[in-house]
Amino acid sequence: MTTKDLISIHDLSIEEINEIFALAASLKASDHKPLLAGKSLAMVFEKPSTRTRVSFEVGMYQLGGNTVHLSPNAVQLGQRESIADVAGTLSRYVDGVMLRTYRHDDIVEFAKYASVPVINGLSDLLHPCQALTDIFTVKEKKNDLKQVKFAYIGDGNNVCHSLMLAAAKVGMNLTIATPRRYEPKAMIVKQALDDGKASGVEIDILNDPVIAAKDADVIYTDVWASMGQETETKARKAAFANFQVNSQLVGLAKKDVIVMHCLPAHRGLEITGEVIDGSNSVVFDQAENRLHVQKAILALLLGGK
């Protein structure tokens, strides 16, 4: 990898994405390799996490390294001390830092002052490790990404943004259906369309879940209210009422459609229990792959492999 950090998929080349996927597949298929023996990763969390924390922690362990978990009130980025001072300090102790923050710019600023690799473990804007894992999972299930019709139904949020940027790089056609006023941010749409020129991808953004789901190979959804948007929950429930991924909607897709969700899920809201627990759902394969894909990212960024 030529990039120091993983903050946005927009910063990666298709060669780097393929390198991550190839290493992830080989790590998944083999016994644990001590590629990061003696190395440490600090993990700074401003928001809760299950999958990101555990998969990074176990991933570092399996690579022969270790992690230091910093909970929301431990660091208090920019409050207890400046982001630059935290970045400068942690860079003297550890070989890489993963951050989960509210403000995306905090991760960008941290990376500017950190001399070690910085990995975005979710911000309000992006969730690159999730989207790389998701594309890796689609590739495992469907082989040729260029033949896939991927439908994202729900909020134009951090996960949607990173999926757009990833789809644009790998050339996977993507249709997004959100309620009006919940579309992905224009700045990310522009980046994805620009990146998509090289891969020849089609990205459609609609307000109709039925059109998006029709003949889809993949249906993907995420929560209607993300972490930090709890006060909007009620208004969002009303706005997203027609965007639930249920059996009726899944019935419009191809017979062998796979249903994806980054989790945590709210059964009965964005997805029904029947669908998430049904035979088309791959949500736990997806969750497992966080481990393999992030081990590849860690090995490439922290180990110079």
Is 290 annotated as a binding-site member? Answer: yes
- List C-alpha distances in Å: 137 to 94, 144, 243, 253, 292: 30, 12, 23, 18, 11
**What's the CA gap between 253 and 275, in Å, rounded?**
13
Provide the sign of the torsion angle of the four alpha carbons 187, 265, 234, 220, taken in this order: positive
- Binding segment for ligand CP (CB under 6 A), chosen from 63-71, 172-180, 256-264, 274-282, is 256-264
Q: Which stretch binds ligand NVA (CB under 6 A): 63-71, 154-162, 240-248, 269-277?
A: 154-162
- From residue 33 to residue 72, what is the string marking binding to ligand CP with x (rule CB under 6 A)? ----------------xxxx--------------------
Q: Which amino acid is at 266?
A: H
Are 96 and 298 in contact, with CB atoms under 8 Å apart? yes
62 binds, among ligand CP, ligand NVA, none (CB under 5 to 8 A by kind): none
- When CB distances to ligand NVA are compared, the closest residue is 226
Min separation Cβ 14 and ligand NVA, Å: 25
Stretches 168-176, 185-193, 207-215, 260-268: which one binds ligand CP (CB under 6 A)?
A: 260-268
Q: Rounded distance, CA 51 to CA 32, Å?
A: 20
Shortest spacing between CB 233 and ligand NVA, in angstroms = 12
Cβ proximity to ligand NVA: between 230 and 256 the closer is 230
Helix (H) or strand (E) holding 104: helix 104-113
Q: How far apart are CA 152 and CA 156, in angstroms?
A: 9
Total residues found in the chain within this entry: 305
Work out which of 114, 148, 262, 296 binds ligand CP, going by CB under 6 A.
262
User: How far is it, in rounded angstroms, from Cα 18 to Cα 16?
Assistant: 5
CA-CA distance, 142 to 275, in Å (whole number)?
Answer: 19
- Residue 53 a catalytic site member: no
Exactly one of 10, 161, 290, 292 is catalytic; which is it?
A: 290
161 in active site = no
Q: How many CB atoms lie within 10 A of CB 32?
A: 12
Residue 103 assigned to a binding site: no
Q: Which is nearer to ligand CP, 50 or 248 (CB)?
A: 50
What type of residue is 239? A
Whether 250 and 213 have beta carbons less than 8 Å apart is answered as: yes
Q: By CB neighbour count within 10 A (0-12 exposed, 13-18 middle, 19+ buried), where does 30 fall?
A: exposed
Choices 167-175, 233-241, 257-265, 268-276 (CB under 6 A): range interacting with ligand CP: 257-265
* Residue 278 main-chain phi, psi, to 5 deg: -85, 180
**Both structure tokens of 119:** 């990995």
Residue 69: CB minimum distance to ligand NVA, A: 17
DSSP SS3 for 88: helix
Write down the catalytic residue from 62, 130, 286, 294.
130
CB of 120 to ligand CP, least distance (A): 11
- Kindly state whether residue 239 participates in binding ligand CP, applying the rule CB under 6 A: no
Q: Among 126, 159, 297, 298, which residue interacts with ligand NVA (rule: CB under 6 A)?
A: 159
Residues that bind ligand NVA (CB under 6 A): 122, 157-159, 222-223, 226-227, 262
Residues designated as active site: 100, 127, 130, 222, 262, 290
Residues that bind ligand CP (CB under 6 A): 49-52, 122, 130, 262-264
Binding residues for carbamoyl phosphate: 49-52, 76, 100, 127-130, 262-263, 290
